[in-house]
């Protein structure tokens, strides 16, 4: 049974409406677990909206575990056992205070996950992290997915499956903010991208060297800096932008 999408009127909260309609196609079994969603371009044309609206809608569905991405392939309807029972309103994250709260939660989870990954990682985890790091360095749309995957591998390497569950969920929630961090402002984007890559490399090297203290500190610095890039914290606040590079 083919999904029955139709064009939308230009009203507020379009991403929410698009997400709701796609979700309805899934609940009514016109899109089944494992099915690939139409491309962004196809969905944008079908609904009569811009691709940015589609990206936000898909990000919202990912955050709820309703769909999942396969890097370089597309978005797919999640299997029922992979769908999340945790709910965070994607629209609320457009408020800086709410997004800051989520980043504070990221720090609690991911700093500890990095520490544990340094103790428990396998050679296979290092290979996966290295491969993902190379994809991040391409600085294209796929590098955002690679960034999220890098953090998921660290959570997996921790040896605690609950870290992976929560880090994957939160990562999907903040995907849009990570995209913003990579493109911050035209005059700073290249500089920030260089810093972000160095931060990820520091995390990787600490985990590779089985240095839990350094892994913890490197992840803490990276997430605090991400908050700063996004304007969630004052750039002069201790713990941010330890690179010494001034952002104009």
Task: Read off the pLDDT of residues 166-181 as tens digits, 9 standing for 90 and up.
Answer: 887 777 666 665 655 5
Condensed to tens digits (0 to 9), the pLDDT of residues 179-191 reads 555 554 445 577 8
Q: Please, are residues 43 and 5 in contact by the beta-carbon 8 Å criterion? A: yes
CATH 1.10.10.10 positions along the chain are 14-82
Tell me the fold of 91-229.
1.20.120
Return the CATH architecture of domain 14-82.
Orthogonal Bundle (1.10)
CATH 1.20.120.530 positions along the chain are 91-229
| pLDDT reported for residue 235 | 43
| Other CB atoms within 10 A of residue 186 CB | 7
3-state DSSP percent of the chain in helix, strand and coil, to 5: 65, 5, 30
Res. 118 pLDDT band, cuts 50 70 90: very high
Using CA atoms, how far residue 159 sits from 112, 131, 153, 163, 170, in Å, is: 12, 20, 10, 8, 18
Angle in degrees, CA 93, 25, 2, rounded to 5: 140
218 pLDDT higher than 60 = yes
Q: Which of 177, 179, 226, 176 is nearest to 200 (CA)?
A: 226
84 pLDDT higher than 90 = no
Residue 157 has which token pair?
Answer: 């390497």
Condensed to tens digits (0 to 9), the pLDDT of residues 33-64 reads 899 999 999 999 999 999 999 998 898 888 77
**Secondary structure class of 132 (helix, strand, coil):** helix
pTM over 0.85: no
Res. 200 pLDDT band, cuts 50 70 90: very high
* Residue of 176 and 109 predicted with greater confidence: 109
Angle in degrees, CA 92, 93, 99, rounded to 5: 130
| C-alpha–C-alpha distance, residues 134 and 149, integer Å | 12
For residue 121, what is the DSSP state?
-
Residues whose CB falls within 8 Å of the CB of residue 145, separated by 6 or more in sequence, listed in order: 69, 71
For residue 92, what is the DSSP state?
G
Residue 240 has which token pair?
Answer: 């941010």
Q: Please, are residues 66 and 77 in contact by the beta-carbon 8 Å criterion? A: yes
């Amino acid at each position: 049974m083919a999904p029955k999408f139709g064009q939308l009127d230009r009203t507020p909260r379009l991403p929410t409406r698009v997400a709701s309609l796609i979700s309805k196609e899934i609940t009514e079994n016109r899109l089944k677990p494992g099915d690939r969603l139409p491309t962004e371009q196809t969905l944008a044309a079908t609904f009569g909206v811009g691709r940015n609206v589609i990206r936000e809608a898909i990000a919202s569905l990912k955050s709820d575990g309703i769909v999942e991405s396969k890097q370089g392939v597309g978005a797919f309807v999640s299997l029922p056992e992979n769908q999340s029972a945790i709910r965070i309103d994607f629209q609320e994250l457009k408020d800086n205070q709410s997004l800051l709260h989520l980043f504070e939660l990221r720090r609690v989870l991911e700093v500890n996950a990095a520490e544990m990954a340094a103790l428990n990682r396998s050679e296979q985890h290092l290979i996966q992290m290295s491969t993902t790091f190379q994809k991040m360095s391409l600085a294209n749309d796929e590098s955002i997915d690679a960034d999220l995957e890098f953090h998921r591998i660290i959570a997996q390497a921790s040896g605690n499956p609950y870290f992976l569950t929560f880090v994957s969920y939160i990562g999907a929630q903040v995907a849009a903010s990570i995209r913003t961090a990579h493109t911050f402002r035209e005059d700073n984007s290249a500089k920030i991208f260089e810093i972000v890559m160095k931060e990820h490399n520091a995390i990787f090297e600490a985990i590779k060297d089985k240095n839990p203290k350094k892994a913890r500190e490197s992840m803490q610095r990276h997430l605090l800096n991400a908050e700063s890039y996004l304007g969630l914290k004052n750039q002069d606040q201790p713990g941010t932008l330890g690179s010494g590079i001034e952002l104009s």
